Amino acid sequence: MSNPSLLILPGDGIGPEVMAEVKRVIDWFGDKRGLAFDVSEDLVGGAAYDAHGTPLTDETMAKAQEVDAVLLGAVGGPKYDNLDFSVKPERGLLRLRKEMDLFSNLRPAQCFDALADFSSLKREVVAGLDIVIVRELTSGIYFGEPRGIIKEGNERVGINTQRYTESEIDRVARSAFELARKRGNKVCSMEKANVMESGILWREVVQKVHDEDYPDVELSHMYADAGAMQLCRWPKQFDVIVTDNLFGDLLSDAAAMLTGSLGMLPSASLGAPMANGRPKALYEPVHGSAPDIAGQGKANPIACILSFAMALRYSFDQGDEAKRIETAVEKVLADGLRTADLIGEEGVEPVSTRQMGDAILAALDASL
């Protein structure tokens, strides 16, 4: 039987630096746990534009469709700001999401105890936080038609259309319920059914999916604006939150900052199952390319390493090994190691990207 396959797309800015540490972790699992992967690497974003004049070649897109999972670093940077919209680095990532039909975006918000004081909220509010927001990723107001800026009389009008089909809501709801069964068995669905017809349909379809196929999972409904307030008031009341593209974009960014640093947060974008039963999947850190610190060894590799942990859990059924990585990260943080983005008080000396990778590998060794 062949090894599972991974396509690594380091991208731009700090992407190659944080991905270098992920590759060391991947090698560790091959050497120490007998969990080997067939790894290939290619270009995306600005790096692909520099080499090929496009943010994603057809050949790379074809590779992404064939492998078991894609790991992506980050894309973009100011040097590409003046490019035509069609070839901006971000178009490469959007093409991957669209053509792989990655409709379910999982964004965990987990607060390690060692970083609870780094959050802007009180320690008792965020310590031990472990929630996941499931954001629908391929429909909604970002994709609906009609859209554009038109002229009406003597003024311009901007138009975006919020549009969802029953099947689009159904499949992301199932993704959330399946995830909840592996966690706290609780889902909160968020929309604006009080003022939006798409919200009414969303609530009806989620409830129908629950009643017919997931009655064992606790389901609640909440208006998205109230959900934003509750995330700041007492986020630990939630386990899995499922919501649409726009609200998911806003709520997941708000939840991200509960943990103190974007440098800590991974994400997974999942699609329909392939022939081997695994979902099409792309894993990436939530943070951007941070070109201002690129090449300086200051980047935090933890979010990218935790993205690989998500790949182990959701693409390769290796939940115990994913937990091994998460526990190693927790130990390193508890030991006081901090990259520059996690320095909250004077007198603490930050470690480099490589040193953080070294420490996590040492903690993995100690777990054996």
Is residue 320 flagged as an active site residue?
no
> How far is it, in rounded angstroms, from Cα 203 to Cα 26?
41
Report percent pLDDT > 70 for the chain: 98
- Phi/psi of residue 189, nearest 5 degrees: -95, 130
Q: How far is CA 363 from the centre of its chain?
A: 24
Is residue 253 flagged as an active site residue?
yes
Res. 347 pLDDT band, cuts 50 70 90:
low
* 293 appears as a binding residue in the annotation: yes
Look at residue 262 and tell me whether its pLDDT is greater than 90: no
Which of 244, 249, 283, 331 is catalytic? The answer is 249
Strand partners, 247: none
* 83 appears as a binding residue in the annotation: yes
Looking at CATH, the fold of the domain delimited by 130-258 is given as Isopropylmalate Dehydrogenase (3.40.718)
Supply the pLDDT for residue 344: 65
* 135 appears as a binding residue in the annotation: yes
- 30-83 pLDDT tens trace: 999 999 999 999 999 999 999 999 999 999 999 999 999 999 999 999 999 999
Is residue 225 flagged as an active site residue?
yes
Averaged pLDDT score across all residues of the chain: 94
> How far is it, in rounded angstroms, from Cα 282 to Cα 208?
29
Look at residue 201 and tell me whether its pLDDT is greater than 80: yes
Please indicate whether the domains covering 1-109+261-368 and 130-258 agree at the CATH topology level.
yes
> How far is it, in rounded angstroms, from Cα 294 to Cα 334?
26
DSSP 8-state code for residue 214: -
- 16-25 pLDDT tens trace: 999 999 999 9
The pair of structure tokens assigned to 75 is 């894309």
Supply the pLDDT for residue 130: 93
Which of 50, 113, 253, 358 is catalytic? The answer is 253
Q: Which residue has the tokens 């699992």?
A: 29
Report percent pLDDT > 90 for the chain: 84
The pair of structure tokens assigned to 1 is 């039987």
* 244 appears as a binding residue in the annotation: no
Supply the pLDDT for residue 192: 98
* 205 appears as a binding residue in the annotation: no
Supply the pLDDT for residue 138: 92
Supply the pLDDT for residue 139: 94
* 63 appears as a binding residue in the annotation: no
Which of 101, 113, 170, 225 is catalytic? The answer is 225
Q: What integer is the mean pLDDT of 242-271?
A: 89
91 vs 261, which has greater pLDDT? 91
Degrees to nearest 5, angle at CA 261 with 280 and 176? 35
Is residue 12 flagged as an active site residue?
no
Res. 9 pLDDT band, cuts 50 70 90:
very high
* 225 appears as a binding residue in the annotation: yes
Which of 192, 244, 283, 341 is catalytic? The answer is 192
Supply the pLDDT for residue 345: 61
pTM > 0.75: yes or no:
yes
Q: What integer is the mean pLDDT of 202-225?
A: 98
> How far is it, in rounded angstroms, from Cα 76 to Cα 184?
36
* 141 appears as a binding residue in the annotation: no
* 11 appears as a binding residue in the annotation: no
Q: What integer is the mean pLDDT of 156-170?
A: 97
> How far is it, in rounded angstroms, from Cα 178 to Cα 132?
12
Which of 142, 170, 323, 358 is catalytic? The answer is 142
DSSP 8-state code for residue 113: G
Supply the pLDDT for residue 243: 98
> How far is it, in rounded angstroms, from Cα 279 to Cα 102?
9
1-109+261-368 carries CATH number 3.40.718.10: yes
Q: Characterize 284-315 residue by residue with b for buried, 16 or more Cβ atoms within 10 angstroms of its Cβ, and e for exposed.
A: bbbbbbbbebbeebbbbbbbbbbbbbbbbbbb
- In the chain, where are the structural domains located? 1-109+261-368, 130-258
- 227-253 pLDDT tens trace: 999 999 999 999 999 999 999 999 998
Q: What integer is the mean pLDDT of 269-278?
A: 87
Is residue 192 flagged as an active site residue?
yes
